[in-house]
Amino acid sequence: MSSYNSPLPVGSAQGTGAAAIAIAETAGGTNNVGNATDSAGNVRVDFVWGNYPMQPNDERTDGTAVVAVANDYTQNYDWSGYTTYPSARLTAATSNNHTVAEAEWNNYPQFTPGVGNYKVTAASGNGTTVTYTAQNNLAAGDSVNITGLTASAYNLSAATVATADKLKFTVTNAANAGEITGQWYGKVEATNALTAYDGAGITFINVPSVLGETTALALDELKDAGYEAASITTAAAASNVGKTITAAARTAGSAVISITCASHGFVAGNKVTVSDVSGGDGVNGVWTVLAVTSANVFTVTGTATTVQALTSLAGVVSGVAGTIKTQSVAAGTASVLSTATITITPFATAS
């Protein structure tokens, strides 16, 4: 993906060059967040300057854009002798960058507009509900920040929209500062705004969970979410000493297996291997941790079969090597700057 001042972007079927046409005409698929990809596995979108829409299937790399030209460029009006290198992903400091398109792209040429940044012109409260006058596309359940109003009681953070139509919306809040009108700087912005056009000012990220994923897939998903490659650190693999399982239980007809293992250290989403559980039909295997009941008990989803109540066991559980054990920014965190950093830590080989 890159920017061009040309109606024939590299990578489109109308572009020049065998490589460009091959990529454009070879079937792609979808990435881990459902965005359409080209045959190289990249999101099918490209940026183009001027009056041309975004184009699919251009190869861009992480890092800094580089262009080299011949020393005689001042006299080289016919462009001969110039050497150019493909530019990298667009900078996260600009609003129309790769994060914007990758987060909101549906499939060429479809695009899903980001959540809104709307002007608030009036507000009133009755001690239970605050009503804001604003042309908007909000919906009940949206989380919003309201700023810039002269009555500070009506400036709310992470407020949940109770009702909304095209001309107003309400939130449930005890603020009651009377009615204010003629507001010029009032603004409502969804807390998961992604772009400057959404009012974020700079691209923001809604952090995905990469726990349990392979390192390669985790890196791919974090970049799809908006993190720049240089902002993602993969820490040294975490110790992965097998822990002894002392009990396993499952109620009749339930697929949830409760596993007892002292100080197991797992969290929901971790991928684990259970082995050597004697008599444990459906207990041994590779599982994703469903929930952590306590420091000594966690659950996984297996297969709904018969009741189990196994005790005095000597089974072993360990993390799956190479899958992510922890991430430094919790999944679900919203409004994280795309220039922020995140560290992921995979499990080491089990010992």
* 186 and 247 part of one domain: no
Q: H helices of 192-298, where?
A: 215-225
Q: Is residue 13, in this structure, part of any structural domain at all? A: no
Q: What is the DSSP letter of 27?
A: -
Chain mean pLDDT for the chain: 76
Three-state DSSP class for residue 23: helix
How much is the pTM? 0.56
What CATH number did the domain enclosing 279 receive? 2.40.30.20
Residues 121 and 186: their CA atoms lie apart, in Å, by 6
Q: Is residue 43, in this structure, part of any structural domain at all? A: no
Highest average pLDDT, of 220-234, 293-307, 333-347, comes from: 293-307
User: pLDDT digit string (tens) for 242-287?
Assistant: 999 999 998 887 889 999 999 999 999 999 999 998 876 688 899 9
Q: Kindly tell me if the per-residue pLDDT of 223 is higher than 60.
A: yes
Q: Is residue 348, in this structure, part of any structural domain at all? A: no
Q: Is residue 23, in this structure, part of any structural domain at all? A: no
- Domains in the chain, number: 2
Between 173 and 313, residue with greater pLDDT: 173
Q: Kindly tell me if the per-residue pLDDT of 315 is higher than 50.
A: yes
User: pLDDT digit string (tens) for 139-187?
Assistant: 899 888 898 899 999 999 989 999 999 899 999 999 999 999 988 878 8
pLDDT at position 310 is: 84
Residues 213 and 345: their CA atoms lie apart, in Å, by 11
H/E stretch holding 20 reads helix 18-25
Residues 197 and 178: their CA atoms lie apart, in Å, by 31
Contact 259, 233 (CB under 8 A): no
* Distances 157 to 28, 39, 61, 189, 241 between C-alpha atoms, Å: 41, 43, 37, 10, 44
Domain carrying residue 307: 243-320
Q: Is residue 88, in this structure, part of any structural domain at all? A: no
